[in-house]
Amino acid sequence: MADQRGMFTYASSMDVLGSETQRVVARSLYVPKHRYGFLLNQWDQLCNMVINQRKIKLTMNIQDGYVVLVTSPDNRSMSDLWKCFYFIRAVILGFKIIEASAILYSDDVGVKSIDMSNVSIKHKGHKWTLSCERNMKLYGRSRKTSIVMEGNLIHILGLKWSIQNAITSLPPLGLGCCVN
């Protein structure tokens, strides 16, 4: 900045860095190798929802296995960045894009992961899967939750209160009981 004598004055740190909402922020998310194919097949829809609707830059490095989200000059909102981060995370966990898109539009929707390896399970293998599928029918879409099973991990997407209802029904199913 020049004053009237043609000399330059020092710029303040706010002039150089900008305010908190004007800084560029990036978040990266690891993609397991077994989810590459699914993510690449859905990439066009993901880019449409994240880049076109939320104005967040989205790139994927296949060699390192990371998805990188960066705020753009059009949108520097941290809440939009975090919503897109959790949306991509839900898709990587195995939820459908339509189900995971609820994260982008509501603040009360989240994902909870439960490790069932420490629960004593009466039925092993296929019977345990059937009992969990029975739970999915009871507490699935009709109760505003979506459940994805991956080995001993169970991922639940939904409203906070409906996630708690689904969590309370899981241990009895692990023991082989039927939920009423």
Question: CA–CA distance from 106 to each of 80, 99, 100, 103, 133 (Å)?
Answer: 11, 12, 11, 6, 27
pTM: 0.74
Label residue 176 by pLDDT band (50, 70, 90).
Answer: very low
d(CA 76, CA 142): 36
DSSP state of 178: P
User: Domain boundary residue among 83, 106, 129?
Assistant: 106
Distance CA 119, CA 29 (A): 29
Residue 177: pLDDT band with limits 50, 70, 90: very low
Same domain for 89 and 126? no
Regarding whether 88 and 150 lie in a shared domain, the answer is no
Quote the number of domains for the chain.
2
Average pLDDT over residues 85-102: 92
Least confident of 11-15, 22-26, 50-54, 130-134: 11-15
Half-sphere exposure of 135 (CA within 13 A, CB side): 28
